[in-house]
Amino acid sequence: MSVTSEQVRHIAKLARIGMSEAEIEALVPELNNILGWVEQLSEVNTEGVEPLTAVIDQKLRLRDDIVTEGEIRNEVLANAPEAQHGFFAVPKVIE
Amino acid sequence: MRRKRNTGSLRSPRSLSEAVSDLNSKTIAELRDGFRAGHFSAREIAENFNAAVAGARTLNAYTLETPDDALAAADTADQARASGDLLPLSGIPIGIKDLFATRGVETTAGSKILAGFRPPYESTVTAKLRQAGAGMLGKLNMDEFAMGSSNETSAHGPVISPWRRKGSNVGLTPGGSSGGSAAAVAAQIAPGATGTDTGGSIRQPAAFAGIAGIKPTYGRCSRWGVVAFASSLDQAGPMAKTVRDCAILLEAMAGFDPKDSTSLDAPVPLWEANLSSDLRGKRVGIPREYRIEGVPDDVNRLWERGIEWLKDAGAVPVEISLPHTRYALPAYYIIAPAEASSNLARYDGVRYGLRERGPGGLDGMYSATREAGFGAEVKRRIMIGTYVLSAGFYDAYFTKAQKVRALIKQDFRKAFELCDVILTPTTPSAAFGIGETTDPLAMYLNDVFAVPASLAGLPAMSVPGACDKEGLPLGLHLIANELDEQMVLNAGLAIEERAGFTARPEKWW
């Protein structure tokens, strides 16, 4: 499988990364090179093999649904590029 | 808790004045024991390292220096010595890879997108190190989001290795992604450092820098507060001059953490107290698939010597087969970017870090922020990850890679029925020059020997073995079964004792 510049443009859109046409054109051969190389996995017979889900066998733990560390709104907001009235502020989304 | 004096030290006792003047070259065990015995104060240790850090800025190993943090911990340690309340790492200052969130101290993960981020919390690993009495010298440079094998992808610029080829002044890479950590230990501007390893990021730089570094079993060290790259692979571990120092640091870093859902609920062994280079009755697996073409003679020759050293320690070599080895790297370069594309979706310009206003409202802001904030390698991996996870390709790439990963895990399971520890070279070459490797695929091949153990979640370590003909360090790589860090450390110690690796970079910075 190989990607076209149209597909790279689409992937960039999905990944929300702004890219110039020149960057997209440069990425096409780079991605194809890498995708061509990972293609060798198709040589491996994986029939009947379950995909690995946990690298070390262990049970997922459950915990009580309680607040353990709260009341730190201002500390959390301190890193926001823009915070207003105790909230994260973003550009207007509804006209 | 008091510990008995280190009996594994190879150095002879020194006089008082000698001891103080030479603090930077000491191991963590020597610093700890000398401090406890009253040969020098914690403040003297911290001041020596703070001065060395400030004098080595040319290396670009630190992204941020925190001398006051080191001094405050030292003063606490000096008081603790007076009152008899010593902690395991009292008096020891260390460097922290900039991937670990440190409360109130800028944490950037080597990325422009996290510029100015001051976490309101402390990572579990660094919190444990602090609770054990350690101080922090500063934050260490690294490849952006730990994606790289040369430190060249850092937004802070590359780390320059303290090592140089014989008769050359070409700047070399310390490896990556924990390149700042490796360079700092090698240049003696930190007695030890934290690193993280997703696909070789502790072991490859340790090998390039002539130091020791261990990636423990997946889940030993909490990932909480470690900036995420590929969550099913990411593991923290220590980097230091010696195997014993790695054991000391790992004991402080490891342990169950309810805040990490994949943290291992298992007691932390006394790795240091149980160090033993007596390998009688142990079998060392030599995987035939790790003999690959194009590897320099020096690397294979060291591997042969490594086998001899382990035999000398009492172990019996056995040939083993890990048939899916050659598929580890391609599987890794599907799984790691897939997880990264998901993990890095959080950098959207809303909650922390950089924000760029683009055209077109919220979506435009996301795209502009990520365009300006991420470097080329991070973008490349997010793009690959997004592609392999996208509708129609998921099974062909991601599911396939996870099946191959299951086979790689099975290879190791079978191998450990025949042997107790596996010996391989750490890297297919010694350190290369900054700017010398421009092809992404060629860069990825650096981790060909390191990645299989990552995919299988196994403990693995690099220890220095010898220098190549250009005078650059080469490492030997040990892999053991799940939870058997002791086996890795003991085999590492056996090599360390026999290799007699004493080479240090000549100070030019």
Is A93 within a domain? no
What pLDDT digit, counting tens, does each position of B65-107 carry? 999 999 999 999 999 999 999 999 999 999 999 999 999 999 9
What is residue A2's predicted lDDT score, i.e. its pLDDT?
87
Q: Pick the more confident residue, B48 or B18.
A: B48
A76 → chain B, closest CA residue: B120
Is A58 within a domain? no
| CB-based contact A1 B384, cutoff 8 Å | no
Which of chain A's residues have a Cβ under 8 Å away from the Cβ of B101?
none
What is residue A69's predicted lDDT score, i.e. its pLDDT?
82
**CATH number of the domain encompassing residue A15:** 1.10.20
CA B379, A54, B264, B266 torsion-angle sign: negative
SS3 B323: coil
CA A86 to chain B, closest CA, distance in angstroms equals 12
What pLDDT digit, counting tens, does each position of B421-476 carry? 999 999 999 999 999 988 888 889 989 999 999 999 999 999 999 999 999 999 99
Task: Tell me: pLDDT of B355 over 90.
Answer: yes
**CA B439/CA B74 separation, integer angstroms:** 45
Task: Tell me: pLDDT of B352 over 70.
Answer: yes
CA A60 to chain B, closest CA, distance in angstroms equals 7
- Out of A11, A37, A82, the one facing B387 most closely (by C-beta) is A11
CA B243 to chain A, closest CA, distance in angstroms equals 25
| A12-26, B10-24, B230-244, B488-502: segment of lowest average pLDDT | B10-24
Q: How many domains are contained in chain A? A: 1
Residue B177: CB partners within 8 Å, gap ≥ 6?
B110, B142, B143, B146, B147, B148, B149, B151, B196, B198, B201, B205
- Out of A44, A46, A79, the one facing B117 most closely (by C-beta) is A79
- Please identify every residue of B annotated as catalytic: 97, 177, 201
Please report, rounded to a whole number, the percentage of residues in chain B having pLDDT higher than 70: 96
Is A15 within a domain? yes
| CB-based contact B219 A56, cutoff 8 Å | yes
Is A31 within a domain? yes
CA B445, B290, B230, A14 torsion-angle sign: positive
Task: Tell me: pLDDT of B9 over 90.
Answer: no
What pLDDT digit, counting tens, does each position of B115-140 carry? 999 999 999 999 999 999 999 999 99
| CB-based contact B120 A38, cutoff 8 Å | no
For all residues of chain B together, what is the average pLDDT?
95
Which of chain A's residues have a Cβ under 8 Å away from the Cβ of B262?
54, 56, 58
pLDDT band at B21 (very low <50, low <70, confident <90, very high): low
Is A76 within a domain? no
Task: Tell me: pLDDT of B336 over 70.
Answer: yes
Which of chain A's residues have a Cβ under 8 Å away from the Cβ of B374?
17
Q: What is the mean pLDDT of residues A15-39?
A: 96
What is residue B19's predicted lDDT score, i.e. its pLDDT?
52
pLDDT band at B290 (very low <50, low <70, confident <90, very high): very high
Range of the domain at A9: 5-42
What is residue B11's predicted lDDT score, i.e. its pLDDT?
42
What is residue B10's predicted lDDT score, i.e. its pLDDT?
42
Is A84 within a domain? no
SS (H, E, C) B77-118: HHHHHHHCCCCCCCCCEEEEECCECECCECCCCCCHHHCCCC
What pLDDT digit, counting tens, does each position of B376-418 carry? 999 999 999 999 999 899 999 999 999 999 999 999 999 999 9
**CA B3/CA A90 separation, integer angstroms:** 55
**CA B506/CA B509 separation, integer angstroms:** 9
pLDDT band at A1 (very low <50, low <70, confident <90, very high): low
pLDDT band at B20 (very low <50, low <70, confident <90, very high): low
Is A92 within a domain? no
What is residue B438's predicted lDDT score, i.e. its pLDDT?
87
What pLDDT digit, counting tens, does each position of B297-315 carry? 999 999 999 999 999 999 9
Is A14 within a domain? yes
Task: Tell me: pLDDT of B478 over 80.
Answer: yes
pTM higher than 0.90 for the full model? Answer: yes
pLDDT band at B210 (very low <50, low <70, confident <90, very high): very high
SS (H, E, C) B436-497: CCCCHHHHHHHHCCCHHHHHCCCCEEEEEEEECCCCCEEEEEEEECCCCHHHHHHHHHHHHH
Q: Which of residues 43-82 of B touch A (CB under 8 A)?
A: none
What is residue A94's predicted lDDT score, i.e. its pLDDT?
78
- Out of A53, A82, A92, the one facing B361 most closely (by C-beta) is A92
